[in-house]
Amino acid sequence: MAGVADRAMREICKEFGAAYVVGELTSSKGMMYSDKKTAALLQVADTERPMAVQLFGSEPEVMALAAQKAMAYHPDIIDINMGCPAPKVAGNGGGAALMKNPKLAGEIVKAVCRAVPVPVTCKFRKGWDEDSVNAVEFAQICEENGASALTIHGRTRRQMYAPSADWDIIRRVKEAVSVPVIGNGDVTDAESALAMYRQTGCDLVMVGRAAYGNPWIFRQIEAYLTQGILLPGPQLEERLCVMRRHITLLCRYKGEYTGMREARKHISWYVKGLRGAASLRVMAGKVSSLSDLSLLEQEIRRLQKDAQET
């Protein structure tokens, strides 16, 4: 979710019913240099709460100092990422690489827990690869060292994001610890959210990539879990209204130049499934201003109207 789950995205998801949001992956070492980009990743708005800032790193002392610095932004939770598979993270000993060193992971959790007054949580994977599936042991070590909750993604680092997530490992982690467990992996709609709850017994389900251009998923999950109702997807005008609001927030928080360039990927996700989506993605790759967005919206309406008339 790095580069996606920024403040604008989180606020939109909260508006549609997300119970809890987690910030973008932030380097503990980067925080030691007071990097302006790093500071932007740690911003917490009251409209987002409860919200966690997410840190990664491989040195207990540095992680503890970073967590202390993060408290200046008043997060509700400090989340330690021990599951990111990206080479630039895992290749430097952070993220999923910690799955290969549970002892060090435990030391990091303990150091961070001692450093901050808020709950500390951990996100990790099934294991490093299929020959070293150690999520249950890893979860217990995190709990023993003070973690208040755990998020488990049902794939190994080597699997990245395919094939299907192993929900059974989430169930086994849930049965092995006493702290809340959040399940992650292949929750793509309301029905799969309920299926994960039933199969794993987890306390919450985490939605990641399925929310790209689709914040309505949280509203749909809530309705299905509480009322058994499968809500339909948004009508075109609602889709466009939310897309514009999302992009307007991006521009407000980052300036129009940066906001519109980051908006390009979001537009591509918002138009998924629409008539002419391929050509719309090409247009999305060229937008540079809110005026360009208005022209794109006109083209979206035209294409959908033509589709209805044919």
d(CA 187, CA 270): 18
2 pLDDT exceeds 80? no
186/304 same-domain check: no
188/304 same-domain check: no
Looking at residue 309, its pLDDT comes to: 77
For residue 151, being part of any structural domain is answered with yes
Name 162's Cβ contacts closer than 8 Å, sequence gap at least 6: 155
Q: Which residues form the catalytic set? A: 84
190/262 same-domain check: no
Q: How many structural domains compose the chain? A: 2
d(CA 201, CA 270): 32
Task: For residue 58, give the H/E element and its range.
Answer: none
For residue 1, being part of any structural domain is answered with no
pLDDT band at 306 (very low <50, low <70, confident <90, very high): confident
d(CA 96, CA 220): 31
Q: Chain-wide mean pLDDT for the chain?
A: 95
User: What's 251's domain CATH number?
Assistant: 1.10.1200.80
pLDDT band at 292 (very low <50, low <70, confident <90, very high): very high
Looking at residue 265, its pLDDT comes to: 97
90/116 same-domain check: yes
For residue 76, being part of any structural domain is answered with yes
**pLDDT tens digits for 240-261?**
999 999 999 999 999 999 999 9
User: What's 147's domain CATH number?
Assistant: 3.20.20.70
Q: Which domain holds residue 286?
A: 236-309
pLDDT band at 310 (very low <50, low <70, confident <90, very high): confident
**pLDDT tens digits for 85-112?**
999 999 999 999 999 999 999 999 999 9
**pLDDT tens digits for 11-50?**
999 999 999 999 999 999 988 887 677 777 888 999 999 9
**Residue 2 carries which DSSP code?**
T
**Mean pLDDT to the nearest integer, 175-185:** 98
What pTM, to 2 d.p., does this model score? 0.93
**Mean pLDDT to the nearest integer, 291-310:** 91
For residue 255, being part of any structural domain is answered with yes
Is residue 39 classed exposed, middle or buried when 0-12, 13-18 and 19+ CB atoms within 10 A define those classes?
Answer: middle
